[in-house]
Structure formats: structure tokens, C-alpha cells
Amino acid sequence: QSALTQPASVSGSPGQSITISCTGTSSDVGTYNYVSWYQQHPGKAPKLIIYDVSNRPSGVSNRFSGSKSGNTASLTVSGLQAEDEADYYCRSYTSSSTLVFGGGTKLTVL
């Protein structure tokens, strides 16, 4: 049950785009299209922003998009805004019928 691998931090200027990667294995990300992404602001509960690799819940900005290739999923945030500064976590279903999160990525808007 090793955590999925995410970069510790990424940054970008307002209006730019950034991509956060989430690398797993063939036992999780590589096999199942059950990858979700969560945004967490300090002191708040996580918020679902992408589910099933590339789907956005109602109300989530279309500036957030998700994709997957092999064992790596990715979250892209386009048109960066100050309010996007937060921690981002990926999550995958696994072959053991468990869930596993990534270590988290801190997004800084410069």
C-alpha cells in the first residue's frame, strides 16, 4: 500500500497552466479508471475536483482537467488564479479493493 507519487510542489503565475502528475503502478492507476483529484485549502476538508480520471463534478471550474497514461494520472489547472493556491491530492482504487492517496502537491500561485 505505497502512496502514489506526486511532486511535492509546483508553481505558476496567474493565467498560466500547470500540470501535477500522480504515478502509481499496474495495481492501481494503471489498471483502474478510478482516479480522483482533491483540492484542500488550509484548515479545510478536501474537495473533489476530478473523478474517474477526467470527469468534473457539477460546480467545479472547467479550468481543471484530468487525464491518464499508463501508470500516471495528471491534473492540469489552466488560467491559474490566486484561489487555486492549495494542496492537491490524487487517489486511486487498488487491486486489493482499497484506496490509496498520493503524497500531495502544494500549488503556489506566484
Partner 1 sequence: EVHLLDSGGGLVQPGESLRLSCAASGFTFSSHAMSWVRQAPGKGLEWVSGISGSGVGGYYADSVKGRFIISRDNSKNMMYLQMNSLRAEDTAVYYCAKVAGSGWGQGTLVTVSS
Cell matching residue 10: 509546483
Q: Show contacts with partner 1 in window 25-64 (CB under 8 A).
A: 38, 40, 45-48, 51, 57
- Give the list of residues 6+ apart from residue 39 with CB closer than 8 angstroms, or none: 46, 47, 49, 84, 86, 87, 88
Residue with smaller CB distance to partner 1, 63 or 106: 106
Task: Look up residue 87 and give its amino acid.
Answer: D
* CA distance linking residue 20 with residue 80, whole number of Å: 13
Q: Show contacts with partner 1 in window 82-101 (CB under 8 A).
A: 87, 89, 91, 96-101
What minimum distance in Å lies between the beta carbon of 10 and partner 1? 15
Residues at the interface with partner 1 (CB under 8 A) = 1, 3, 38, 40, 45-48, 51, 57, 87, 89, 91, 96-104
